Structure 1
Amino acid sequence: MASEHEGRTQPETDSTAEDSGIHWDSIIRNTALIIVLLVLLWLAFNVRLPSADSLQQMIASWGWAAWLVFIGTYALVALTPIPVTVMAVTGGLLFGTLEGSILSMIGVFIGCWGAYWIARGLGKQATARLLGSHYRTAERHLNQAGFQAVVMLRLLPGFPYWPVNYGSGAFGVSQRDFLLASALAIIPGQVSLVAIGSFISNPNVANGVVVGIGWAVVLVMTWWAYRRWTIVKDQSPKPAND
């Protein structure tokens, strides 16, 4: 009788342990979601970046470490819904067009990559809640063609960086496509914004030309990316009719 009782107890114990493991995994995931949601919502509604001039003074006060502070700050901003425009302009004010563009691209790239992996960890359902009104747009485009869609959304005027970052992680865009598309697409926009800051700090023809060329390249690349995405979408298999 004792052995029969032990035989019945062991599977029940294993089942309880498995249930407990699944339960804790769910708790950790939901807790992470709540924390990320609260932080991002709080930042979006309560935090406003200082003006470019104020940021310039604050970052410059770090002396030789100013470039490290700038990259770190930019990466943190890129993780949130806060627009990155002010950071790029500040890069131009502080470091000029060339150095400011390089540092800006490093900072925004790190932040975008971090957001991608946060979304991968949270999963599709959790990230859908995080994206809110941007969810449908990200789902519609990023479920079609990873590389082309990331490039197009990165270059799309008025569409923020952060839904692309989190949407790419949630909807299965490969890390390779995400990184290559992001590296390609952020260059013209970042350079043109940094050049604006550099032009404000040191108005000259060279900086004005960089601004003009930068935005011209943005428009051309947006058109190219949209055309490529349309071709891939048209070539994708259509669902069978019932």
Structure 2
Amino acid sequence: MISPLPPGFRLRVLLRGLVLIATLVAVGFLIEGFGFRDALDTSWIDSQIRGKGLSGDALFVVVGALFAGIGLPRQAVCFLGGYAFGFAEGVLWSSLASVLGCIGAFYYARFLGRSLVVTRFPERIARLDAFLAGNTFSMSLLLRLLPVGSNLLANLAGGVSGVRAVPFFLGSALGYLPQTLVFVLLGSGIQVDPVFRIGSSVILFIASGVLGVWLYRRYRHGRRLDAETEAALDEGNSGDDVATRSG
């Protein structure tokens, strides 16, 4: 019987699977072997990052990018960036770590994990792909401004879709900025003016969330995300929907 698969297809699938396994093993080894399981807490920052110069800065960015890239909360990276470096440098290094994590997950999905991601999240990936299509920069920016949704899933969706990489990364970087500012400010509040900085962080977080939801509802142009995200965004706003549809 002649196989319907093209020559070399099964070998390519096997090699991709082996690379996928090797990647996951490598991540686990880094986490366990180098003590990254305990990384990104204040004691690790004190012992490995502060006062280490550029080597400490680079280590923070690498570990932060790894954590953000595998789906751990990006806000924690930003918080500890503020704790480690203060506001200005914290924003810089946390933003770089967030964007590098985004790039890593994007290309991982595009070149290695496409079949795995599509199989695991078929409907959500399809909706995110449709949402990002058209104006990738604007839709990526809008997606990142929302206070709900999965950062990792958005990165993976971008990777398995046909969106252009550079507009996706630029829109993501700009969309990350409001929450980066909020959590870096909150982290730096451990050191200076905690009441003022924590209060300001709460206000900025609420404001950025409200802005993201308002922009989404105004400019999504018929695009819709998954049902869970839509329910969270539309909760308590059914009256607005009626007014919009009747207007």
Which category of TM-score, normalised to the shorter sequence, fits these structures?
A: 0.7 to 0.9
The answer for the alignment partner of 2:131 in structure 1 is 144
Counterparts of 1:41 and 1:67 in 2: how far apart (Å)?
23
CA contact (8 A) 1:89 1:197 kept: yes
Question: How far is 1:80 from its partner?
Answer: 0.5
CA contact (8 A) 2:131 2:139 kept: yes
Superimposed CA distance per residue, residues 5-47 of structure 1 (whole angstroms, 9 cap, x where no aligned partner): xxxxxxxxxxxxx72x333222212222334466679999xx8
Q: Which residue of 1 aligns with 2:234?
A: none
CA 1:226–1:39 in 2, change beyond 3 Å: closer, same or farther? farther
CA distance in 1, matches of 2:46, 2:132: 42
Deviates further, 144-153 or 60-69? 144-153
User: Quick check: which one's helix share is greater?
Assistant: 1
State the partner residue of 2:75: 85
Give the drift of 1:97: 1.2
List per-residue Cα deviations over 1:129-187 (Å, max 9, x = no partner): 4xx4x553333132233434433432333423211111111122221331122011100
Question: Which stretches in structure 1 are left out of the alignment for 5+ residues?
Answer: 1-17, 235-242
| Higher Cα Rg, which structure | 1
In structure 2, the partner of 1:197 is 187
The 5 A counterparts of 1:50-65 are 50=39, 52-60=41-49, 63-64=52-53, 65=55
What SS class does the counterpart of residue 131 from structure 2 fall into? coil
- For 2:50 and 2:95, how far apart are their aligned partners in 1? 22
CA offset at residue 69 of structure 1? Answer: 1.0
RMSD: 3.1
Deviation at 1:53, TM superposition (A): 1.7
Deviation track 1:69-105 (CA, whole Å, cap 9, x = no partner) reads: 1111111112212222222111111111111011100
Residue 179 in structure 1 maps to residue 174 in structure 2:
no
Alignment of 1:21-170 (within 5 A): 21-36=8-23, 49-50=38-39, 52-60=41-49, 63-64=52-53, 65-122=55-112, 124-129=114-119, 132=120, 135-146=122-133, 147=136, 148-170=138-160
Q: CA deviation at 1:218?
A: 3.7
Alpha carbons of 1:35 and 1:51: their partners in 2 closer, same or farther (altered >3 Å)?
Answer: closer
Q: Any conservation in 2 of the 1:74–1:104 contact (CA below 8 Å)?
A: yes
Distance in 2 of aligned mates of 1:209 and 1:98: 18
Distance 1:183 1:50 in 2: 24
The answer to whether the Cα contact below 8 Å between 2:128 and 2:154 also exists between their aligned partners in 1 is no
Q: Measure the CA separation in 1 of the matches of 2:144 and 2:39.
A: 24
- Greater CA deviation, 166-175 or 25-34? 25-34
TM-score normalized with structure 2 length: 0.72
| TM-score normalised over the length of structure 1 | 0.73
Tell me whether 220-229 or 108-117 shows the greater mean CA deviation.
Answer: 220-229
